[in-house]
Amino acid sequence: MEPEIITEAQTWLVNNQGLLIEYAVNIAAALLTLLVGYIAANLISGGVVKVMKSRKLDATITEFVGSILKYAILVFVVIAALGRVGVQTASFVAIIGAAGLAIGLALQGSLSNFAAGFLLIIFRPIKAGEFIEVAGTAGIVQSVQLFTTTLTSGDNKMVVVPNSAILNGTIVNYSRMDTRRVDMTFGIGYGSDLRRAKQILERLVNEEPRILKDPAATIAVAALADSSVNIVVRPWVKTGDYWGVWFDFHEKVKLTFDAEGIEIPFPQMVMHTAKAGE
């Protein structure tokens, strides 16, 4: 009995030698795919983590992104390896796709905020401590997280803005540049001495130590309005000095114009009274 079994086994091996070799090659290819894929997943995720750390991004976010990327690559590697040994992977891909679609529809808003947060963290158009204006809100950035960005308004209110609203809108960053131009307009009466007013403004600009010499400030007549001659003053300052110069310069102009007899027009209302019966 045993010799017959051995003989049949030998015969089967001889007859199916090509099939066995094919299976062996496919299994070896699948194992190689798993090995190479595992190494590639580690290298790619490790490289991304290294780049994110070099940009001094939040450690928690860095590790989270690295893990998500690694396991996403491994899922595709396993599917590819199963395909090498003859497993029909179309059903796996369909299941993963359907699950991804369902999750995406259920978490559409959250995923949009997540993607926007990831891009904000990577490209950093805004950073903590900067004064920005986004989504109709202005304030100092306190933190940029995966789903939301927290601002503190000028009157010390905490404002939480969805990241998608930031990325899909216009971002005005008032702090990123080293210098800013202070745009101010001062109106004088038509009866006032225009040349004298410009000389006063030029002197005040030169006396203000926070105003930069280069580029030079612009002082010019901007408009002949209904009740005033409007003069623009546009000096350049360090970004941190912007509001200090704005407030102080307006006060100095008012005090100096008053002392020099330069009229600053203001709206007036004339009221006529009449006695009853007239």
Pair 38, 81 in one domain? yes
CATH of the domain at 221: 3.30.70.100
Pair 52, 70 in one domain? yes
| Residue found under tokens 């070896």 | 28
Pair 62, 38 in one domain? yes
CATH of the domain at 162: 2.30.30.60
98 domain residue, yes or no: yes
What span, in angstroms and rounded, lies between the C-alpha atoms of 257 and 186?
A: 10
Pair 16, 96 in one domain? yes
For every residue of the chain, DSSP letters joined together read -HHHHHHHHHHHHHHTHHHHHHHHHHHHHHHHHHHHHHHHHHHHHHHHHHHHHHTT--HHHHHHHHHHHHHHHHHHHHHHHHHHTT---HHHHHHHHHHHHHHHHHTHHHHHHHHHHHHHHHH-SS-TT-EEEETTEEEEEEEE-SSEEEEE-TTS-EEEEEHHHHHTS--EESSSSSEEE--EEEEE-TTS-HHHHHHHHHHHHHH-TTB-SSSPPEEEEEEE-SS-EEEEEE-EEEGGGHHHHHHHHHHHHHHHHHHHT--------------TT-
pLDDT, residue 276, reads 65
pLDDT, residue 194, reads 97
pLDDT, residue 272, reads 60
269 domain residue, yes or no: no
84 domain residue, yes or no: yes
Number of domains in the chain: 3
Low-confidence ranges of the chain (pLDDT < 50): 1
278 domain residue, yes or no: no
Pair 96, 147 in one domain? no
User: How would you classify the pairing of strands 179-181 and 172-173?
Assistant: unpaired
Task: Pick the closest to residue 119 from 87, 86, 58, 163 (CA basis).
Answer: 163
Pair 7, 95 in one domain? yes
265 domain residue, yes or no: no
119 domain residue, yes or no: no
Supply the range of the domain harboring residue 186: 179-260
Pair 77, 130 in one domain? no
Pair 7, 66 in one domain? yes
What span, in angstroms and rounded, lies between the C-alpha atoms of 245 and 179?
A: 13
Burial class (CB in 10 A: 0-12, 13-18, 19+), 116: buried
